[in-house]
């Protein structure tokens, strides 16, 4: 196991936020990066610009909506899966998986589900069920696995500034939280919550009502580790400075560090 910094970042439009992304990559130098919400067709993905700062890339784009990518510092990700099993009629670009730097990385963008109740919430739960079913095999792997991305779930009330303001939102519904807990119950480690069990750590601040300025945030971006990877977890955090850049995404990059040796 190398000493790896692994990050996930909902970029909210890679063409619009490319300067922010490149600045962050050059400053923080994450070894593996999972991106969500590219909002760009495959032909518009900025391969050359990413190569110019030292990153190989793999992407699964979609014009105007969704889209996921995996970046590797000084390497090229080796694709192992594109899309979850069981979604023959699903045309959304929401899951990409690759071997990178000795780790298997699944990059996901789980459906938002709003408004609920309704077909969008039904789709969210159905997609979640497909993820849970597929993740069971990854969890049991002897190889280190990281499932990173925007889960669009606030796991507990500790993960939001004020749950009363979001009671009707799909991100806080009991069904969404129950799916996330069932995923954890397979044996996955929620990295940030594992290292900071009692702290309010946020990864998302929407653009309304000065939520960034007031630190009225949510934690919806998660990095889950299987038992083969979790003993190497040494650090975790949020690069909140990126949320304060001009024309930012409403998310900030969330990261972990896997040490070269297991914890004793």
Give catalytic residues, as residue numbers: 109, 150
Please confirm whether the linkage preceding 110 is cis (ω < 30° from 0).
no
Whole-number Å distance between alpha carbons of 124 and 63: 20
Whole-number Å distance between alpha carbons of 234 and 34: 19
Q: What SS3 string covers 144-185?
A: CEEEEEECCCCCCHHHECCHHHHCCCHHHCHHHHHHHHHHHH
| Residue burial 233-245, b: 16+ Cβ < 10 Å; e: rest | beebbbbbebbee
| Tokens representing residue 262 in the block | 């297991």
Residue (of 144, 143, 145, 163) closest to 154 by Cα position: 163
């Amino acid at each position: 196991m190398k000493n790896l910094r692994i990050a996930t970042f909902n970029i909210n439009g890679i063409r619009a936020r490319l300067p922010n992304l490149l600045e962050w990559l050059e400053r923080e130098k994450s070894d593996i990066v999972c991106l969500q919400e590219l909002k760009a067709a495959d032909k518009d993905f900025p391969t050359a610009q990413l190569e110019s700062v030292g990153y190989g890339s793999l992407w699964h784009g979609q014009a105007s909506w969704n889209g996921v990518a995996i970046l590797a510092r000084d390497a090229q990700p080796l694709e192992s899966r594109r899309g979850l099993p069981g979604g023959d009629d699903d045309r959304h670009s929401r899951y990409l998986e690759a071997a990178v730097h000795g780790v298997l990385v699944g990059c996901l963008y789980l459906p938002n589900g709003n408004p609920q109740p309704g077909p969008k919430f039904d789709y969210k739960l159905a997609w979640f069920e497909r993820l849970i079913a597929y993740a069971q095999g990854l969890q049991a792997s002897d190889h280190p696995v990281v499932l990173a991305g925007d889960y669009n779930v606030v796991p507990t009330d500790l993960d939001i500034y004020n749950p009363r303001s979001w009671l009707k939102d799909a991100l806080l519904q009991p069904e969404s939280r129950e799916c996330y807990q069932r995923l954890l119950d397979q044996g996955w480690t929620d990295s940030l919550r594992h290292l900071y069990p009692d702290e309010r750590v946020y990864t998302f601040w929407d653009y309304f009502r000065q939520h960034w300025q007031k630190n009225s945030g949510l934690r919806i971006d998660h990095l889950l580790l299987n038992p083969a990877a979790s003993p190497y977890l040494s650090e975790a955090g949020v690069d909140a400075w990126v949320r304060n850049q001009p024309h930012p995404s409403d998310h900030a990059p969330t990261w972990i560090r896997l040490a070269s040796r297991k914890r004793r």
